[in-house]
C-alpha cells in the first residue's frame, strides 16, 4: 500500500468537524434517560473521551445544571484540583461574568502545609479553597483524595459548594469517592466506576458554561 496516497484528510472547518462528531455521538449513543441539558453535558464528555460507556455512567443531581449555570452567571469562582483543568477550560465564558478558575495544588503554602501534616497537597488545596470561596464550583478530575476531603467538609457544614463536578479517574478510592458524592444532597455531576479524568471534567465544566452562555 502506498501510504503517501492512501489517506485523504477530511478538509472541513473545525466547527463542521464538531458538528459531524456530535451527530455521530447522537446516532451511536442509544437510549437514555438524561434530560435535554444533562445530555448536552454527556455529549461533550463523550466527545472528549470517545467513550460511550463513560457517557452512560454519568450521574446528575436533579439541580446540578441549574445550579452550575446560576453559579457562572452570578460570577462565582471555580476551584480545580489540577493545572490540566485550568489549561483546558474555556475561561472567557466564566470570567465575563466576574468569575475565575483557581488551582492551588502547587502553591508554596499548600506544599508546606501538606509536608507539615504528612498528607496530600490535594487535601490541603481543598481546605484552602473553602477558606477563599463562598459557594463556587469545584471541578475535581484527578485526585480522589480532594473529592473525599470536600465531601467530609460538606458533611461537617464547612463547605457549601454551588456545584461539585467530581470525576476523578483511577483505581484507588476513585470509584468510592464518587459513590460517596452521589449520596449527598448537593448539586453534583459524577459517574460510576474508575473512569473519569481532567479531560472529561473540563468537558463537563465547558458544557455548563456554554449553557450559561445561552441562558
Task: Tell me how far apart the alpha carbons of residues 167 and 190 are, in angstroms, rounded to a whole number.
Answer: 5
Catalytic site residue from 47, 56, 97, 102: 47
47 catalytic residue (yes or no): yes
Task: Tell me how far apart the alpha carbons of residues 191 and 7 are, in angstroms, rounded to a whole number.
Answer: 37
Residue positions annotated with a catalytic role:
47
Amino acid at each position: 500500500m502506498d501510504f503517501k496516497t492512501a489517506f485523504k484528510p477530511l478538509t472541513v472547518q473545525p466547527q463542521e468537524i464538531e458538528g459531524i462528531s456530535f451527530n455521530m455521538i447522537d446516532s451511536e449513543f442509544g437510549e437514555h434517560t438524561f434530560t435535554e441539558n444533562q445530555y448536552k453535558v454527556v455529549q461533550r464528555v463523550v466527545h472528549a473521551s470517545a467513550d460511550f460507556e463513560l457517557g452512560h455512567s454519568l450521574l446528575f443531581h436533579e439541580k446540578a445544571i441549574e445550579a452550575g449555570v446560576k453559579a457562572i452567571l452570578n460570577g462565582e469562582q471555580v476551584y480545580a484540583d489540577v493545572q490540566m483543568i485550568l489549561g483546558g477550560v474555556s475561561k472567557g465564558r466564566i470570567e465575563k461574568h466576574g468569575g475565575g478558575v483557581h488551582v492551588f495544588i502547587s502553591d508554596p503554602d499548600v506544599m508546606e502545609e501538606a509536608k507539615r501534616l504528612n498528607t496530600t497537597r490535594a487535601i490541603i488545596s481543598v481546605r484552602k479553597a473553602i477558606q477563599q470561596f463562598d459557594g463556587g464550583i469545584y471541578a475535581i478530575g484527578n485526585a480522589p483524595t480532594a473529592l473525599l476531603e470536600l465531601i467530609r467538609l460538606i458533611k461537617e457544614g464547612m463547605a457549601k459548594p454551588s456545584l461539585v463536578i467530581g470525576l476523578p479517574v483511577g483505581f484507588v478510592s476513585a470509584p468510592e469517592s464518587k459513590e460517596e458524592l452521589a449520596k449527598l444532597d448537593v448539586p453534583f455531576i459524577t459517574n460510576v466506576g474508575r473512569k473519569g479524568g481532567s479531560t472529561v471534567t473540563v468537558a463537563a465544566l465547558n458544557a455548563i458554561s456554554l449553557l450559561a452562555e445561552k441562558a
